[in-house]
Structure 1
Amino acid sequence: MRFATVLLPLPYECEYTYSIPDVLDSRAKPGVRCSVPLGRRKMVGFIASISEERPSGDYEIRDIERIIDEIPVFNDELLDIAKWMRTMYFTPTGLSLSMMIPSGRKESEVSPFYEPASFKAIENLSEGQEHALSVLRSGESRFYYLFGVTGSGKSEVYLRRAEDMIKEGRQVLYMVPEITLSQQLSDEVYDRFHGRVAILHSSLTPSQRLKAWHEIMSGDIDIVIGARSSVFAPFRNLGLIILDEEHETSYKSGNTPRYHARQVAQYRTAKCGTEFIMGSATPSLEAWEMMRTGKLRRIDMPERIGEGRYPKIEVVNTLKEKRNISPELEKAIRKALSEKKGILLFLNRRGFTYGYQCRSCGTILTCPNCSVSLTYHKKSNRLVCHTCGFSEPLVHVCPECSSRDLSPSGFGTENIEEEARALFPYARIARLDTDVAESGKGKTQEILQGFRNGSINILLGTQMIAKGLNFPLVSLVGVMNADSSLSIPDFRAEERTFDLLHQVAGRAGRYRDDGFVIIQTTQPFSPAVAAAADNDLETFYRKEMENRKATGFPPFSRLLNLTFRSISEEKAIKAVEDLGKSAYELEESNSAYEDIEIFSPSPCPVEKKARYYRYHMLLRSSSASLLLSFAHKLLDNYKAPSSVYLEIDMDPISLM
């Protein structure tokens, strides 16, 4: 009889030994899932290894009850990554594997892009693209960064390099930050290569994902396109990883394990000898520092290709403006409509207004489950919490002072849509935000296609329309509230504002030389707004890096955020204070941890979320290895009190 080491998806690190019954022996192999008993429970586990010898020790070894997979669903590389994530992200190995691997069992027909590979002829490259490709082909590094303006042709360079790898018989992973982008890119890749392409993202059913997973693992897929989780795809012969729009925060997982796809890709590259290309017009400050120190080979692509030019940008001070659409923006919209050009109106906020406020006592109506304001949606005439989903009919009486003088404060996409329809009654206007996207299958693609072909004149929306989508007819972009993200209490606020403004401005003039952007703001002298208006990236990065260095925040330090949440505020406070006391004692007892900085426990900026009170403690160090060592010593044997949950976030992108 043989014995299997099985990893289980439990909240603690563990390996269990099970015996393999003779009837299952031929199907049991490392990399397959199995059903095993654990106490009175049945669990799905992962066979990590098989031994001919019984482990030492006088204890009962129970049988594996069922083998789930005919062929393995993970390999040695994925097992190694899962073990690394145990150290890096404080997630047990079995739990990481369960997150990586699809749960589907049936192999349905899902591979929509599956044909013999052949390559289409494509047009000539620009000088900037030729230079970038020659550097990549030189082999002088394995870690590259395409620092290119929007419209400089980074995607073509990615695909050319992917073509090189596929011709050598190697596989390619092409990561993008959003599912919408995945679909757009997959269409382009399919048309271009007529090759073996798979898409991996969270909207696939488990069975669809498992089908693609097996094809990738067997080597039947040449290119995988996917969002964050595709970084765990089980390649047989991976040659290239592409991470487009590297600055996007959606590459960081908000759930356990709280991994960053960039960091996982860097680890895979270092371990497996692949090539790793990142790219963006607005690199994260972490990537900027890696370029400065030579850890990434920077390749500049400063010019737009074809007839595209970086747009002219005008900043409009709306501090005293009563309308959402300023006179300057209205004039520009009328001109663009008369010339039959496309118009994008961007607002980084869903809903009709920011909130609903009592004009008598100043009370802003907030969610009963969260410490955030409710958003008024005019179409449904309801107040909605965009944090937990709570909603209620519009309130007409102030809950604090009983006044009936309540009114909206701020504005949202529905509000702007209403104003635009009143100002431009003959224009064909569409709104695209998460509410619209979730209203029906295919609605997003229908709106985007209508805007591309000109049947929609004005497209207004939220962050969805700012990210990498290409619209040839667009000549005018209006940014409605450029400074809204500056009020967020987070050290990355300026960086995120600059990223967003620069990216959304890049939608104008990509295919023509008459692009025009109007930025409406109440803070025209903000460094982020001013730098975006002047297209002065180098100055912005230099000043922001100086600020980060002076305050000791990333990329000049590493952070670990420990967040306690509980329905009982008292329990959350006690838990964070007790762990804080243990942290101070550990630091004082070991001189090796002198560089560890412990921030006093405090309420999270969003103190209550979905009925849970939230308190956190931040750890900081200039050394990642020292910070991880300290945190593991503090947490490896720690168990949170009952009804209190601990979230461990290494390198958090937000402290909210």
Structure 2
Amino acid sequence: MYVNLIVDKNVRKLDQLFSYSVPEKYKNNIEVGDRVVIPFGTYNSYIEGLVYEVIFDDFLLDSKIKLKDIIYILDKKYSFTNYQMYMIKFLREVYASTFQKAYLTVLPAQQVLNINTNYVFLDDILGFHKFDKISELNIKKIIKNKELKNLLSSCKLEKIQDFSLKVKEKEEVFISKNFDDLEKTLLNIPDRNVKIIRLIKYVNSLPYVEISKLRRATNSTTKDIENLVKKKFFSKYSLDKKSDATNYITDKGLSNDVTEIVFTDEQSAIIDTYSKYKAKNKHFKAIINGITGSGKTAVYMEIAKKVILNKKQVLILVPEIALTHQLISRIKTSLSKKIAVIHAHISSINKAIQYNEIANSDIEVIVGARSAIFCPFKDLGLIVIDEAHESSYKSDFTPKYDAVELMMGVSKFFNVDIILGSATNKLQHIVAAKKENFLMLHMKKRPKNAKIPKIHIVDMVNNKIKLGDITEIMYEKLAETFKNKEQAIILHNRRGYSSYRQCKECRHIEKCINCDVSLSIENNTGLAVCKYCAYRIEKYSNCTICNGKLFDVLPAVRSVVEDLRELFKNEKFVAVDSLLTADSDKYSKILSDFNEGKISALVGTQVIAKGLDFKGVTLACVLRADLMFNSPDYLAVERGFSLIYQLIGRAGRHRGDSLALIQTMDVENRVFKYLKDYDYYSFISEENSIRKLTTFPPYSKLYMIKFSSSDNKLCLDSASICFEFINTLLNKKNMDVVIYKPRAEYYTKIRNKYSYYLLLKNNAENHSKMAKILYNILVIDKYKILNKNVDVTLDFSPSVL
């Protein structure tokens, strides 16, 4: 009996399975998915392996091959489920991932095996005494490999290895403020200490903050924070490692109507369809296309109840962490108390506890962002992908998987029911779903006779401008809205989300030393920071080139906020962008304040258009909508339509009449005709025809190959060599593939690395063949054309070109 293993080694030529013998004591206990410790390589160093196959017939092996034995099987609670093993296979076959990267993608970060190697001297040599102990890291600094091997073989040195897999037991430590009046508190700061003021301002903006996060955000030390605790400015407390992972959510003031729901005819029809399918024991696969505010979530909940009654688990995916805030309390109240929340901001302790509970089927509902798809499910019965059109379901890290595509694969392989829900489902998903015989279900009305907003397209060329990008019409409608004690949401989806400083004399803009981007000024801390790397400096007051005076340049969104404050001095406006939403606690507080009516309008980038539900919003505004469609990206029009459509849907969900203003410099753009009539179906039909004609996805397959290096010339040369090689190889194989020459990334330098990319367009039916070719060239370097000083990454479905 032997096993084939995935080994935890990131070496191109080792991307294969390795065979190991199973000792007698483990033969009745070993299974696919078990995690094991094995001796590996010439020195038999301990590493981790994952059982990929169990082979019971030894005669399949060459009799001359002597296999090494497995050393140890980890506790079964850390084994991979069949579901997780399928994920590894899918990542490898569809995204050309290496075994190791696929394994580490699925492996929970808090369950990484720690292996320690030490050496013990068995004689007085090299200045060491008998039984002295030294780590592997230190011994390699003083002894070369050849000498080390001789000492081991002559029994003058003994190698000792141990391993442990222990989830962090460290408690999470939090800080909260001990004061009410910020201004009075700041007056008591000795010598107006900038660092202390920065800390106090940051903590004041949140209900609480993890101490490690506070250190990073304010460039402070633990000692700085502890001093403020001693002086009673802050309180410090720990989070019990077994506390409910959903308790951190601040849902005060959020729209959370859990009264008994009276379903509309459209909702009832979908729920009845599901029940009929299950009565016949049929696999339920559906795309629900429902206008914003049509009650899709209520349908998800009702279907989920039926799944839970059958002792199955439900996975609900949301595109943004922030969207869990409005969902959790609703689920806990009306669906299930046995709930897990999985996303990047959950502590490692709570995440580990929840993983074990999911594996033991103690959890009924799992809510999470993209990473939740890798949970150790054993009884998954329903997958719900809310706002399925969102780009955040696509991973930015290798392997660059699409969570929607992955879950469609899971649904098919394990016969798990699946729902893709959105007001603007992607054309790519619609075409793929039709091939798999998904039901196409529609919800075209809002419950309780709620009206959809009237849409007014505002021509910015022929209308008076009040200030900045705000037209007279928009100003009047905002004034009317605020007079009626109602609220607005304003979308300004332009580049330039961060403030920076520019010299009045020479116009120089200070840039990051590691990246080709300007330094942003943080509101909370006053630091000049790079949003791509860890570089940060104190805010500078004079130009570093000519010593001239500087002035602050506001980002597009914050510039609009300043204009609004100038026009409406008695109203409160808040800028919302991706930098703010990355701070889960602060964003939650703003959403709560907005829903309580403490904020008149939110002004933001695309994040404010995503799945939020507020009672007081009756006006939705879009500034410079035409800018969304001017990109050469083939997805720009579909993305822009979807974003505006979603933004409009934030208005009028709970009140009578509502309005959407779309300001544009190009009123003749075809998109506005469909938007004005809420005609998503005609829009997507026309978009489908254009894609067919131009042979862009879903009627072809795109591949992006990215090259990165600290040496600009080397990076471009490497990209050019690959271009020539791939082009020649594809011609030899008579493959009809379009390959474009190397292009520089939008930001040519990030984190001290320059980047170029190649783009290929292939027939979608030939994906498996193409994936194998690119795997051989770029993943395992079969043809030896890659440079070790250039990083290469593959993206099999780039969402942005």
Shorter-chain TM-score category?
Answer: 0.7 to 0.9
SS in structure 1 of the partner of residue 33 of structure 2 = coil
Partner of 2:9: 10
Structure-1 residue corresponding to 2:476: 331
Question: In the alignment, which of 300, 322, 344 is matched to residue 489 of structure 2?
Answer: 344
Q: Per-residue deviation at 1:227?
A: 1.1
Question: Residue 161 of structure 1 aligns to a residue in which SS?
Answer: helix
Q: Aligned equivalents of 2:665 and 2:511: distance in 1?
A: 25
Mapped to 2, the partners of 1:240 and 1:522 lie a distance apart of 45
3-state SS of 1:71 partner: helix
Corresponding residue for residue 539 of structure 1: 682
Aligned residue identity for 1:288? I
Q: Which amino acid aligns with 1:500?
A: L
Distance 1:410 1:517 in 2: 26
Which of 304, 314, 317 is equivalent to 2:456? 314
Q: CA separation in 2, counterparts of 1:613 and 1:286?
A: 32
Q: Which runs of 5+ in 2 are unaligned?
A: 112-165, 170-240, 248-257
TM-score, with length taken from structure 2: 0.73
- AA aligned to 1:48 is Y
Matched ranges for 1:555-566 at <5 A: 555-566=698-709
CA spacing shift, 1:436–1:238, aligned 2, 3 Å: closer
Aligned counterpart, 2:267: 129
Match of 2:191 in 1: none
Name the structure 1 match of 2:301. 159
Q: Name the CA distance, whole Å, in 2 between partners of 1:493 and 1:407.
A: 34
Corresponding position: 1:257 with 2:403: no
Structural mapping, 1:181-580, within 5 Å: 181-290=323-432, 295-318=437-460, 321=465, 322-348=467-493, 369-372=514-517, 385-388=530-533, 390=535, 393=539, 411-438=555-582, 442-580=585-723
Change in Cα spacing, 1:606 to 1:527, as seen in structure 2 (3 Å) is: farther
| Cα deviation digits, residues 438-469 of structure 1 (max 9, x gap) | 56x62222111111122333223333321101
SS at match of 1:599: strand
Query: Which amino acid is 1:494 matched to?
Result: V
Distance 1:153-1:485 versus aligned 2 partners, 3 A rule: same
The offset of 1:243, in angstroms, is 0.8
**Aligned pairs for 1:103-142 within 5 A:** 103-104=110-111, 105-106=166-167, 108-109=241-242, 111-112=244-245, 122-139=260-277, 142=284
Check conservation: 2:494, 2:605, Cα contact below 8 A: yes
Q: CA deviation at 1:167?
A: 1.4
Give the match's secondary structure for 2:419. Answer: strand
Q: Which moved more, 1:531-540 or 1:227-236?
A: 531-540
User: Which one is further off, 617-626 or 248-257?
Assistant: 617-626
Corresponding residue for 1:117? none
Q: Do the aligned partners of residues 196 and 561 (structure 1) sit closer, same or farther apart at CA in structure 2, a change above 3 Å counting?
A: same
Q: Distance in 1 between matches of 2:28 and 2:491?
A: 59
| Counterparts of 2:542 and 2:474, CA distance in 1 | 34
Question: Which residue does the alignment assign to 2:49?
Answer: 45
Structure index of larger Rg: 2
Mean alpha-carbon deviation: is it higher for 237-246 or for 388-397?
Answer: 388-397
Residue 642 (structure 1) aligned with residue 648 (structure 2): no
Distance in 1, matches of 2:284 and 2:555, equals 47
The whole-number CA distance in structure 2 between the counterparts of 1:451 and 1:579 is 52
Amino acid at match of 2:267: Q
> Quick one: distance in 2 between partners of 1:486 and 1:403?
41
- In structure 2, what is the Cα distance between the partners aligned to 1:380 and 1:310? 41
- The answer to which of 162-171 and 92-101 deviates more is 92-101
How many angstroms apart in 2 are the aligned matches of 1:245 and 1:171? 20
For the Cα contact (< 8 Å) 1:498–1:532, is it kept in 2?
yes
Decide whether aligned partners of structure 1 residues 470 and 225 sit closer, same or farther in structure 2, where only a CA change above 3 A counts. same
SS across alignment from 1:158: helix
SS at match of 1:653: coil
Give the conservation status (yes or no) of the 8 Å contact 2:245–2:350: no
Q: Work out whether residues 96 and 772 of structure 2, in 8 Å CA contact, stay in contact via their aligned partners in 1.
A: no
Q: Does structure 1 retain, via aligned residues, the 8 Å contact 2:400–2:796?
A: yes
CA apart distance, 1:424: 2.3
CA contact (8 A) 1:27 1:70 kept: no
Shift of 1:286: 0.5
Residues 5 and 600 (structure 1), Cα distance of their counterparts in 2 relative to 1, 3 Å cut = same
Residue 618 (structure 1) aligns with: 759
Structure 2 Cα separation of the partners of residues 302 and 359 of structure 1: 54
CA RMSD of aligned residues (A): 3.3
Report if the CA contact (8 A) 2:708-2:753 is conserved: yes
* C-alpha distance in structure 1 between counterparts of 2:72 and 2:9, whole Å: 19
* Change in 2 beyond 3 A, CA 1:251/1:164: same
Cα deviation for residue 586 of structure 1 reads 1.8
Q: What is the TM-score when the length of structure 1 is the normalising length?
A: 0.88
For residues 64 and 548 of structure 1, what CA distance do their matches in structure 2 show? 53
Residues in 2 aligned to 1:350 and 1:191: alpha-carbon distance in whole angstroms: 40
Residues 187-196 or 605-614, more deviating: 605-614
- Matched residue of 1:164: which SS? helix
Question: Using a 3 Å threshold, how does the CA distance of structure 1 residues 132 and 425 change in structure 2: closer, same or farther?
Answer: same
Distance in 1 (alpha carbons) for counterparts of 2:720 and 2:63: 41
Cα pair distance change 1:352/1:630, threshold 3 Å: closer
2:741 aligned counterpart, secondary structure:
coil
Q: Distance in 2 between matches of 1:110 and 1:590?
A: 59
Q: CA deviation at 1:366?
A: 5.8
Q: Deviations over 1:32-80 (max 9, x none)?
A: 3334443465433323345677754656655555544342431223213
Match of 2:745 among 588, 604, 608: 604
- Is the 1:45–1:94 contact (alpha carbons within 8 Å) kept by the matching residues of 2? no
1:529-572 deviation line (CA, Å, top 9, x unaligned): 55334423233223322332232211111111111111112221
Q: Could you tell me how far apart the structure 2 residues matched to 1:66 and 1:419 are?
A: 66
User: After the TM superposition, which of the residue ranges 407-416 and 127-136 deviates more from structure 2?
Assistant: 407-416
- The change in CA–CA distance for 1:77 and 1:493 in structure 2 (over 3 A counts) is same
| 1:87 maps onto 2:231 in alignment | no
For 1:618 and 1:424, the matched residues in 2 are separated by: 48
SS of 1:442 mapped into structure 2: helix
Provide Cα deviations, 1:346-386, integer angstroms capped at 9, x if missing partner.
Answer: 33358776777789998877655444566566776666544
Note closer, same or farther for the CA distance 1:194–1:81 as it changes in structure 2 (3 Å cut).
Answer: closer
SS of match in other structure, 1:628: helix
CA distance in 2, matches of 1:632, 1:351: 37
Q: Separation in 1 of the partners of 2:352 and 2:300?
A: 27
Structure 2: distance between partners of 1:191 and 1:145: 27
Q: Percent identity?
A: 27
Cα distance in 1 between the residues matched to 2:79 and 2:246: 21
1:653 to 2:791 alignment: no
Q: Are the aligned partners of 2:457 and 2:676 in contact in 1 as well (CA < 8 Å)?
A: yes
Residue 126 of structure 1 aligns to which amino acid in structure 2?
A: T
CA spacing shift, 1:233–1:349, aligned 2, 3 Å: same
